[in-house]
Structure 1
Amino acid sequence: MGTTPCNALAQPGRLNKSGIQETNDMRAFKKKASALAMGVGLALTGLGAFGQTAYPCPLVKIISPYPPGGTTDILSRLLAPGLAKELGTTVIVENKGGASSNIGTEFVANAASDGCTILLGNNTGIVINRNLYKLRIDPVKNLAAVGEVASVPLVLYVNTSVPATSVNQLLELIKNNPGKYSYASGGSGSPQHLMGELLKLEKQLDIAHIPYRGQGPALADVLSGQVPLAFETTTAIAAQLNSGRIRALATTGAVRSKGMPDVPTMKELGYPSFVIENWYGVFVPSKTPSHLIKRLNQAVNKVLKSADVAASLSKLGSSDVTGTAEQFTQFIAKELPYWESLVKRSGATVD
């Protein structure tokens, strides 16, 4: 017959649900174990709720290198609320326009590499301006790509006072009235400017370029009739198409835009050189740690795939362009020779 330990016989106990007598020591141990398990559970719950540790910035600034009203500003403000939620911190948009986005782009390139200052840049500031301006930085070398946000075609549009309802009518009107017409753009070197210069070159048009500090001011002056026509992104122009003040004649997409299916493409109309899109993405200073770039990339992609943001981007003419930071970097490398060639072919200069 087995023996029972003396200290167990000496301590008062009670039967548990399994019919085993528990001592005070046993109950104390179970209480500590339960508390420990609860603590671990809460810790795991916290990780599940936040996904990972808190983002190391009390405030994140998205720098939009253009004035309010343009595509970068629209996309920045579309991205900011979701990014704040994903990073668990405050996110604000700050407009730093001027010099065809060079001022804001340089500002971010020279900012601290802590992930707290990010750029919503585009092909103008990253790959085009380096072919037109004497820059104090190299955007490709001094900025690190985080992730692409959108890619949208341009729209050739006119103020409704212009007596043209098609591209061919517009070109004939300009040709028959040399020096009378001008076109607006958000700045020298922008794709909007390059498309205007390419049209001018291919069709031998006498038309002046009027550069602005951003697409917002350029659009405002076409809407008011100060300038008769321009190229603009589907994103910036979408809200104005039903205003009665402008008329869309064609887009520069490879296929018709979902947001404006009744508007033909330039390619359809016999202008194969005019198939381009404006792309936009998030960038940080080049020395930003890789783990912060990865964290930002994951947050940006999650926001872009959220139902409301994805629906908004689709209406604005952009398809899903999400991917890794490495994929975006590779995409930019392929874009460099294309835009360098287009700048030379169009004959564009800084006005």
Structure 2
Amino acid sequence: MAVLIYGGLGHVGSWVARKLIDQGQEVIIFDMGAARFSSLGLDYLEEVRDSITLESVDVLDSHTMIEMALKYRDKIDAIVFGVAVIAGPTFKDRPFRNVSINTMGLLNALEVARILGVPKFVNLSSGAVYGDRPGGQTEDTPFTVTDLYGATKVANEVLATQYGATYGFDVRNARLYFVYGPGKRPEIMHPLYQAMFGPLAGMSDVHSANGGDQELDWTHVEDTAAGILALLNAEGMNGEAVNISCGVAYQHRDIVDRVAKLLGKESGMTLGPGPFTPRGAPLDISKAQSKLGFAPKYANIDAGLADYKTWLDKDPR
């Protein structure tokens, strides 16, 4: 049997795929980047390419998606939905497109689960469902919507949970938070990410207009993927939502300083005042720890930064 990953060539999805393969699981990936796989620089997936079935699928093309999924109808025993336009100040610039990808894309994947009778569905949600509530948010913290991205994540959780309840399949919501690490080059990200992590890739003199006064729990991508797999594999979690993050908040200017210390030099990175996005931190990960046995390897961000640098150093690009 196989796990179907929507967005399996994205930052988080690609690491979920790699960890599933390491566990001996067959993996099918639906991703618009399938035709460009060899140019994506995902060395950790290239190493296991023979264990991956890749299909180029647009999550907004429901007819093609269902036709493609039908090819594997007797093989899929779980779906992980990880397609998303990420949060950030530019999300609002193309609202219909971005909301459609996040939420209509999920609905199309839920239809695949319903039509094929897939027994388990993991929706990659976000701590954005808590909005700007102060840190220590547990899974019982009420939904608070403070931006369009957060609205898509709240809608997706409600829709996924109700689809599962209505049509009799197991739905789980993994509430992820801010992710960094191997598989994502800083230069393709927003200015705050570049200012914090860019020096690890040789970048310098980047200014982020805001974010300097905010602290968030930035989670290494391998920890994020490990938490998702733990939720996928756990018994008795139908209908549950679980926070998956490092559980430790770091002030953004502190991250800039830690990167400089790791490199032994300053890179001229500056952060403007105020928050980057309306979020509180850290997420409370007690539920993940107790019910999933989740233990972030890189809760200390210094170790995570060093690992990220190692990956960037060996990337020929």
TM-score, length-scaled by structure 1:
0.29
Higher relative contact order (CA 8 A, sep 6+): 1
TM-score relative to the length of structure 2: 0.31
